[in-house]
Structure 1
Amino acid sequence: MVKAKVAIIGAGLIGLSTAVCISDSIPDCTVTVIADRFTPNTTSDVAAGVLIPHFYPGTSVHQQKQWYRETFDFLSIICNSPNASEAGIHLISGWQIFKTVPDEKVPFWSDVVLGFRSMTERELKKFPQHKFGQVFTTLKCESPLYLIWLEKRLKENGGQVQVRKLEDLWELYGSYDIVVNCSGIGSRKLIGDLEIYPIRGQVLKVHAPWVTHFIRDGDGLTYIFPGIHSVTLGGTREKDNWNLAPDSSNSKNILNRCCALEPSLQAAKDIQVKVGLRPTRCAVKVQKETLVRGNEKLVVVHNYGHGAGGFSVHWGTAKEATQLVKECIAALQQPRCKAKL
């Protein structure tokens, strides 16, 4: 049987994880990742990589929880293996705090993370401006390390990577049987999806090794996420802002807000500024589509629009996209089988 040729568009977190999942799960296909940017120059490289879900209003809570649990379980296995250091996966504990008591004291993902509970009054004394808080342990991916590890795993599975900028998915017609679109914000131009838009995020990467617990304000705007080599301080959320240049006023504001939660950060050194555009939609798009141009057909599976929550659900959506690819391959092979009869 001739192996199906699958092209993955995009080499960020979603593209690489989807490519690995397909190459792990479908032996009768070849996988090629095509992108104009690879790590360390992707949006995923800017992300803190902490598994705390961001809500998608257009996706059911049940589906979001399933994606989150699948991702958490997948990364937990890596975290508990000899590959943890190379893949950059580790556990991280800390506090999520609120200035007013939220309507939902126990979020839908509370039984996926470890040790979830409400903060005690004594713990809340550290944050006098906040009235309520949650304590839990979750997982963190060191973004560049994880992306490098995924690419290595893809190549070990026989997959290939190709540096190439695409202007149109039809450029791949005839060369590949299935195209998997993981182009993120690029889908706005590549397939004309006007529902996806950027939310500009600026963060600081600082050297502050004494900070070992994460702190996240409940509104998601201010956060302190310790990593292996640096602490990520955030952030900004600027809808429809395409500017990738660092903004000094943003940096000052971020540092002030984070120091208000953790005063010791005033001694942080080696401050680096990073900017990324979160590919945001009302709902993550994971579905198959057949593009038609005259008598020509191009089979496409979409997996994009994860916004600020990509790390939290990436393996769950990769598994769903992989199942769609399996269905597409089966449909493509059916006429071939009939022709041999």
Structure 2
Amino acid sequence: MMRRSKVAVVGAGVVGVSTAVCVAEKLPSCSVTLLSDKFTPDTTSDGAAGMLIVDQYPDIPLERQRCWFRDSFDHLLAIVQSQNTLETGVLLSSGFHIFKEPPVNKKPYWWDFVLGFRFLSERELRRFPEYTFGQAFTTIKCECSTYLPWLHQRFTKAGGKVEQKKVSSLEELSPDYDVIVNCSGLGSKDLVADNEVYPVRGQILKMDAPWLHHFIRLEKGTTYIYPGSRYVTLGGTRQEGDWRLGVDPGDSESILKRCTQLEPSLRGGKVLGGWVGFRPSRRNPRVEREVPRLGGGAHVVHNYGHGGFGVALAWGTAIDATGMVRSCLQERYPHAKL
């Protein structure tokens, strides 16, 4: 009997779990283990707003970014349209992205993947008197506190194994695995000595305001109102290099003020609490194979550094990384069936 190839995925945020599921399902001849010291509900992904709206990375070919977004959107849209949608935390969300001045590119690179993309009319913009341009569309909201447990079940159903363990170096895994996929996010700063990855502190408020059904997002995503299945997410902050995990009362006050200016009806809502997480940011995400191999022969694939767009791009970059895992195994075992 031929030995099964062994793949380790390090990191159990939405990028890590998505990658583990992709490898387990697309390469069923492999034995896949997901390793992390933290799992849902204790990951950064669990608190993320999870809206599929992204900015453009500066140095990644645009077509590659389009593939990442398209694959992620189509994956989640299929879930929305399935009988599983209630148990997954994935839902459609319609709303407005507004700007003080029209952006250079009036249509984002992903405009044709979301649903019903159009520009706001003058009449619609009267609702936002300080803003001169807006986009309306339907996208997807992925609530990871529900989605991640569901994805974990999908992983184990595909034969995946889960191990709670703090990985101090990829080298320690090398003797036991053929390929190691690093999805450790901000942990890559220490795990693989990547000084290009840094935290961007994000603080949000959770509010009970069930009458709100449409999102509102300002340019650059500094202020947003995202209705969800259980509460409305109000944001936010983008504080680079800030490691404060506690909820800052001053930030909470600023968020509430900015959001109620956009949506005055929020004054009738009840603040349920705040949350802080660190976006694992990088100038560009690192989705690539590493050469040379580690001592012991293991190949390494990296998939981290998505910043605030991990949920939006997780499935697309997971498919990309899975293709790299396949290539690594084909090189190592050219006669094996994958």
Q: TM-score, normalization: structure 2?
A: 0.96
Q: Which shifted more, 160-169 or 12-21?
A: 160-169
Secondary structure of the residue aligned to 1:219 is helix
Give runs of aligned pairs for residues 275-314 of structure 1, distance below 5 A: 275-290=276-291, 296-314=296-314
Cα distance in structure 1, aligned partners of 2:207 and 2:157: 34
Tell me the alpha carbon deviations over residues 306-325 of structure 1, each in whole angstroms, 9 at most, x when there is no partner: 00111221111000100011
Alignment partner, residue 257 of structure 1:
258
Query: Displacement of 1:173 after TM fit?
Result: 2.2
Pairing 1:316–2:324 present: no
Alignment partner, residue 93 of structure 1:
94
Tell me the alpha carbon deviations over residues 157-177 of structure 1, each in whole angstroms, 9 at most, x when there is no partner: 111111111111112122222
Tell me the alpha carbon deviations over residues 42-61 of structure 1, each in whole angstroms, 9 at most, x when there is no partner: 11112111101122112122
Q: For residue 297 of structure 1, what is the amino acid of its counterpart? A: G
Cα distance in structure 2, aligned partners of 1:336 and 1:151: 28
Q: For residue 55 of structure 1, what is the amino acid of its counterpart? A: Q
Give runs of aligned pairs for residues 1-341 of structure 1, distance below 5 A: 1-290=2-291, 296-334=296-334
Secondary structure of the residue aligned to 2:316 is helix
Q: 1:190 to 1:291 in 2, by over 3 A?
A: farther
Any conservation in 2 of the 1:234–1:254 contact (CA below 8 Å)?
A: yes
Q: 1:208 to 1:6 in 2, by over 3 A?
A: same
Cα distance in structure 1, aligned partners of 2:8 and 2:127: 50
Q: For residue 237 of structure 2, what is the amino acid of its counterpart? A: T
Any conservation in 1 of the 2:79–2:90 contact (CA below 8 Å)?
A: yes
Q: For residue 242 of structure 1, what is the amino acid of its counterpart? A: W
Secondary structure of the residue aligned to 1:107 is coil
Any conservation in 2 of the 1:290–1:298 contact (CA below 8 Å)?
A: no
Tell me the alpha carbon deviations over residues 182-240 of structure 1, each in whole angstroms, 9 at most, x when there is no partner: 00000010000111111111111111111110000012100000100011110000111
Residues matched between the structures, number: 336
Any conservation in 1 of the 2:114–2:137 contact (CA below 8 Å)?
A: yes
Cα distance in structure 2, aligned partners of 1:259 and 1:324: 46
Secondary structure of the residue aligned to 1:283 is coil
Percent identity between matched residues is 49
Cα distance in structure 2, aligned partners of 1:319 and 1:334: 21
Secondary structure of the residue aligned to 1:11 is coil
Query: Displacement of 1:296 after TM fit?
Result: 3.2
Tell me the alpha carbon deviations over residues 86-139 of structure 1, each in whole angstroms, 9 at most, x when there is no partner: 111111100001112222212211111111111011111111111111110001
Q: 1:133 to 1:290 in 2, by over 3 A?
A: same
Tell me the alpha carbon deviations over residues 55-90 of structure 1, each in whole angstroms, 9 at most, x when there is no partner: 211212211111111111111111100011111111
Any conservation in 1 of the 2:15–2:304 contact (CA below 8 Å)?
A: yes
Cα distance in structure 2, aligned partners of 1:325 and 1:292: 13
- List alignment gaps of at least 5 residues for structure 2: none
Cα distance in structure 2, aligned partners of 1:200 and 1:31: 32
**Alignment RMSD:** 1.5
Cα distance in structure 2, aligned partners of 1:290 and 1:31: 21
- List alignment gaps of at least 5 residues for structure 1: none
Q: For residue 305 of structure 1, what is the amino acid of its counterpart? A: G
Query: Displacement of 1:292 after TM fit?
Result: 5.3
Query: Displacement of 1:277 after TM fit?
Result: 0.7
Q: For residue 8 of structure 1, what is the amino acid of its counterpart? A: V
Cα distance in structure 1, aligned partners of 2:166 and 2:46: 19
Any conservation in 2 of the 1:291–1:298 contact (CA below 8 Å)?
A: no
